[in-house]
């Protein structure tokens, strides 16, 4: 089954809840029809919420498009805007080079350059940490998306920013 | 947004009166939590029963509140988490940071 829909968000914090509910009301029957458990919907819920947060905090535009599609057992969620580019793409010079985006006592979040205009995010857990609360990060949005997603990338093609999240449906 | 439901010698039990704890509430929540810690000088046990969703901003506010509490030699404890919230905390490993209990009684037995 294939599906595709674009939701427009006005980037106002007071409308995050309503926009998130609208998108999830679209996703829930779609995922159920495709035999998915509630766990995948929950991951999608976390991701949608953080993409909308990111739009409010960083887009600097009046609207953001959230494009949702389902094809070949992969749910794709794109956040699309024409705001200021995320400087990671220009910061990492060489293909396949990595940069630490954020770190704390429990996680290291990396971006790796995929091509001239794209980076992919991945995370490593510190499994032997000694808990020091003062060394905990308080900005957790990209980490949540990275850990909830099967694949999370950012692509800049002037003037458009696209964050792409992929979730693999169980077979 | 947060209301004291009980004051004990060692802790204050506080109801979090939010369903969707997200960016539009996180700054106010953080201010109220820190003000309460400063005012009462006791640990805060947050009853999260009503909360069905938390985002990164709210979790960041919780972490800020915990840091403030630890600096005061107090704590922020989470009680009555709905399963989705518990799953979110586990996803980013904050279940290893906060003391989490199903009920106030369970928390009392463990730490009070």
For chain B, domain boundaries: 2-111
Amino acid B8: pLDDT = 95
User: Mean pLDDT in chain A?
Assistant: 94
Amino acid A2: pLDDT = 75
ipTM of the complex: 0.93
The fold adopted by the segment(s) B2-111 is Transcription Regulator spoIIAA (3.30.750)
Cα–Cα distance between B20 and A129 in angstroms, integer?
A: 31
B24–A107: do the CB atoms touch at under 8 Å? Answer: no
Neighbours of A46 (CB within 10 A): 23
Helix (H, G, I), strand (E, B) or coil at A65: strand
A144–B92: do the CB atoms touch at under 8 Å? Answer: yes
- Residue B56 to chain A, least CA–CA distance (Å): 5
Place of tokens 């929950």: A42
In angstroms, how far apart are the furthest CA atoms of chain A? 48
A144–B24: do the CB atoms touch at under 8 Å? Answer: no
Q: What are phi and psi of B64, to 5 degrees?
A: -60, -45
Contact present, A76 and A165 (Cβ < 8 Å): yes
Cα–Cα distance between A83 and A12 in angstroms, integer?
A: 15
Q: What does the pLDDT average to over A131-152?
A: 93
Cα–Cα distance between A86 and A45 in angstroms, integer?
A: 23
The string of DSSP codes covering chain B is -EEEEEE-SSEEEEEE--SEE-HHHHHHHHHHHHHHHHHH-SEEEEE-TT--EE-HHHHHHHHHHHHHHHHTT--EEEES--HHHHHHHHHTTGGGTSEEESSHHHHHHHH-
> Contacts of residue B84 in chain A, CB cutoff 8 Å?
42, 45
Q: pLDDT tens-digit profile of A117-134? A: 999 999 999 988 788 898
Amino acid A121: pLDDT = 98
> Contacts of residue A106 in chain B, CB cutoff 8 Å?
93, 96
A–B interface: beta-carbon pairs under 8 A: 70
> Contacts of residue A49 in chain B, CB cutoff 8 Å?
22, 53, 55
Q: What does the pLDDT average to over A104-113?
A: 95
Q: pLDDT tens-digit profile of A36-95? A: 888 999 999 999 999 999 999 999 999 999 999 999 899 999 999 999 999 888 899 899
Structural domains of chain A sorted by starting position, each given as residue range(s) with its CATH number in brackets: 3-80 (3.30.565.10), 85-165 (no CATH)
pLDDT tens, residue order, chain B (112 aa): 999 999 999 999 999 999 999 999 999 999 999 999 999 999 999 999 999 999 999 999 999 999 999 999 999 999 999 999 999 999 999 999 999 999 999 999 998 6
Please give the helix or strand (H or E) that residue A110 lies within, else none.
Answer: strand A107-115
A144–B91: do the CB atoms touch at under 8 Å? Answer: yes
Amino acid A127: pLDDT = 87
Report the predicted TM-score, pTM, of the whole model to 2 decimal places.
Answer: 0.94
Q: Mark out chain B residues that contact chain A at CB-CB < 8 A.
A: 20, 22-24, 53, 55-57, 59-60, 63-64, 66-67, 70, 84, 87-88, 91-93, 96-97
């Amino acid at each position: 089954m294939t599906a595709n829909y674009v939701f427009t968000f006005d980037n106002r914090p007071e409308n995050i809840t309503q926009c998130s509910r609208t998108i999830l009301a679209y996703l829930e029957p779609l995922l159920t029809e495709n035999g998915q458990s509630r766990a995948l919907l929950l991951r999608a819920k976390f991701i949608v919420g953080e993409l909308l947060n990111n739009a409010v905090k960083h887009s600097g535009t009046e609207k953001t498009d959230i494009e949702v599609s389902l094809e070949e057992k992969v749910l794709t969620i794109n956040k699309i805007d024409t705001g200021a580019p995320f400087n990671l793409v220009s910061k990492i010079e060489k293909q396949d080079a990595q940069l630490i985006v954020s770190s704390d006592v429990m996680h290291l979040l990396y971006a790796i350059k995929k091509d001239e205009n794209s980076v992919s995010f991945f995370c490593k857990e510190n499994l032997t940490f000694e808990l020091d609360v003062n060394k905990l990060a308080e900005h957790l949005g990209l980490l949540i998306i990275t850990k909830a997603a099967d694949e999370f990338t950012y692509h800049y093609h002037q003037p458009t920013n696209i964050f792409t999240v992929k979730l693999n449906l169980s077979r | 947004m947060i209301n004291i439901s009980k004051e004990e010698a060692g802790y204050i039990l506080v109801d979090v009166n939010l369903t969707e704890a997200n960016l539009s509430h996180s700054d106010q929540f953080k201010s109220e939590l820190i003000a309460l810690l400063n005012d009462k000088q006791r640990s805060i046990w947050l009853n999260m029963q009503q909360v069905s969703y938390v985002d990164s901003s709210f979790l960041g506010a919780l972490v800020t509140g915990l840091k403030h509490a630890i600096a005061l030699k107090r704590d922020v404890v989470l009680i009555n988490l709905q399963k989705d919230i518990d799953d979110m905390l586990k996803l980013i490993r904050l279940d290893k940071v906060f003391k989490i209990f199903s009920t106030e009684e369970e928390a009392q037995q463990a730490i009070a």
